[in-house]
Amino acid sequence: MTLKRALAALALLGGLGAPAEAQMTLRIAMTASDIPTATGMPNNGFEGMRFLGYPVFESLVLWDLDRTDRPAGLRPGLATRWEQAADDPKTWIFHLREGVAFHDGAPFDADAVIWNLDRYFRNDSPHFEAPAAGITRARVPLLATYRKIDDRTVAITTTQAASYFPYMAVYILFTSPRSFAAAGGDWSKVAALPAAGTGPFRITRVAPREAVDLARNDAYWDADRRARVERVRLMPIPEANARLAALRAGQVDWIEVPASDGIPSLKAAGFAVATGSYPHVWPWMYNIGAKDSPLKDVRVRQALNYCIDRDGIVALLNGTAEPALGWLKAGDPNFGAPQNRYGFDPAKGRALLAQAGFDAAKPLRFGVMVSTSGSGQMLPMPMNEYLQENLKQACGVEVSFTVVEWQVLLNSGRAGPDSPSLQGAMALNISSPSSDAGVMARYFASDRFPPNGFNFPNWRDGAFDAAMTQLAGSTDPQAVAAATRAAHERLVDDPPWLYVVHDLNARAMSPRVTGFVSPQSWFLDLTRVGMK
């Protein structure tokens, strides 16, 4: 979308000269190139979950976003409590909240839970939704079976004992069964109804490529968390400069990822620019499994991690990121003590490449699939172009790019290593949360190759798998921490990714926006936000 086209669309969607009602709407510019799907399991990665997931469609377990002094944990959601069954650590019992209704008045109960689980996990279900199932299964790869115990209780059994399963359950969202029935049993028509969830906001209008409008749910089950703002408008504006121009023109109130070179002028003009450290990493995911991948050699993977100038990327982003030396941040107590401490060391990088057979006469060459924008991608084209030149100058590595839309890139992350859809790419630039052991398991465990997880590299490391097995089977905090450290040390020393930066979750807002708090989480609590 060009800047001119983006601003023209904004003028029609609540910009300058809009009616007073639209002016009182909190208007948010997302990085996505289209609105997330609106049937109850949004696409567009975690940006879709951030804005059209949890605010509208909730899960049994929710993120606790009240604290800012530590990474977000979990809190009760549509379930008031949960526990592992006394006779089977693979089975989790969820006790459902009383008195909850979907936005369309349908009751939330065990039947609704089973109906939604069938939607995601039962291919022969009459209401199976393939796109939503693909997203959910990749995020919750351990789910095996489930059953209703009574109207307020359900049991979910996993394929293996996993102490971190609640951190996976947080990604199962619930839609009213009446939404599907009202659309004549056609998921492609559900969004236009619109679809009903249980969250603090309800959808009122869906306009593909333009906007989704939300309204406060005044009957929300948690009276203490009813939203302050009456309406929210979500708009996809993938170009950073277009988002910046829209904010300056008063056509939106909030933008995700402001263009880094515009941050000083925004602050000077009185706009608020929020940043905060949180568990998230911007990497290249190596394609180790491809037949002729040069990245099968661990020395090549380590070399690339020594060849990049992370401080230069941070400077490019005007300080809105910090160097990534592993999947976790270097100051995280679970980072461990790996043998490798990555930094900008071209000599060491070139030496490792030479050991692997690559030098000036035979340079390392490979392609990377990247996106123009998207969830957590910050400014992907300038960043990737910087890395391209950096690798060429520092270590003689020649990188080419295949540029696609964000959702196409996400879909590629669930492809096989030699899939034609990858167009020969030996790495994917997909940002990732690093919030918990459940995420670690589905990105790196050797039994989580796509489509059963997000281990796109097809990476195998026996010591990592052993540590994750120990972690999954233990509930002792000290044992869990020790296993997490051991696992992370392997992620550094036998790297499946090129670790570039941890972003600082930058967003800019009009002075009219009040009450925003930046938790240490990819997600946020829109109910605390107001307008003046």
- Output the pTM of the full model: 0.89
pLDDT at 517 (0 to 100): 87
Domain ranges of the chain: 1-36+199-275+506-532, 57-189, 280-503
DSSP state of 120: H
Reference 79, options 152, 168, 167, 162; nearest CA is 152
The CA distance from 108 to 126, in Å, is 20
Residue range 1-36+199-275+506-532, CATH number: 3.40.190.10
Q: What are phi and psi of 131, to 5 degrees?
A: -60, -45
Separation of alpha carbons 532 and 513, rounded Å: 7
- Strand 254-256 with 507-509, pairing: antiparallel
> What burial class does residue 446 get, using C-beta atoms within 10 Å of its C-beta: 0-12 exposed, 13-18 middle, 19+ buried?
middle
> Which strand ranges, in their side-by-side order, compose the sheet holding 507-509?
201-207, 211-216, 231-236, 26-30, 254-256, 507-509, 272-274
Rounded Cα distance, 159 and 469, in Å: 13
Q: Which residue has the tokens 């906007």?
A: 211
CA distance 91 to 345: 48
CA pair distance 222, 226, nearest whole angstrom: 7
Tens-of-pLDDT digits for all 532 residues of the chain?
444 444 444 544 444 334 444 457 999 999 999 999 999 999 999 999 999 999 999 999 999 999 888 899 999 999 999 999 999 999 999 999 999 999 999 999 999 999 999 999 999 999 999 999 999 999 999 999 999 999 999 999 999 999 999 999 999 999 999 999 999 999 999 999 999 999 999 999 999 999 999 999 999 999 999 999 999 999 999 999 999 999 999 999 999 999 989 999 999 999 999 998 899 999 999 999 999 999 999 999 999 999 999 999 999 999 999 999 999 999 999 999 999 999 999 999 999 999 999 999 999 999 999 999 988 899 999 999 999 999 999 999 999 999 999 999 999 999 999 999 999 999 999 999 999 999 999 999 999 999 888 999 999 999 999 999 999 999 899 999 999 999 999 999 999 999 999 999 999 999 999 999 889 999 999 999 999 9
Six token digits for residue 356: 């692997």
Q: Which two tokens stand for residue 322?
A: 């910090």
Q: Please state, as a whole number, how many other Cβ atoms lie within 10 Å of the Cβ of residue 452.
A: 16
The predicted pLDDT at position 12 comes to 44
Residue 427: DSSP 8-state: E
- Distance of alpha carbon 477 from alpha carbon 525, whole angstroms: 28
- pLDDT, position 23: 52
Which homologous superfamily does the CATH classification assign to the domain defined by 57-189?
A: Dipeptide-binding Protein; Domain 1 (3.90.76.10)
CA distance 6 to 209: 10
60 CB-near residues (< 8 Å, 6+ apart):
77, 78, 79, 82, 94, 96, 113, 169, 172
In this structure, what is the dihedral angle of CA atoms 219, 224, 229, 233, given to the nearest 10 degrees? -70
Q: How many CA atoms lie within 13 A of 495 on its CB side?
A: 28
User: Which residues fall within 8 angstroms of residue 372, CB to CB, at 6 or more apart?
Assistant: 33, 238, 380, 381, 403, 405, 406
Distance CA 181, CA 19 (A): 35
- The superfamily (CATH) of domain 280-503 is Dipeptide-binding Protein; Domain 3 (3.10.105.10)
3-class secondary-structure state, position 499: strand
| H/E element, 314 | helix 310-316
356: Cα within 13 Å, side-chain hemisphere: 21
Q: Are 137 and 120 in contact (CB under 8 A)?
A: yes
What 3-state class would DSSP assign to 150? strand
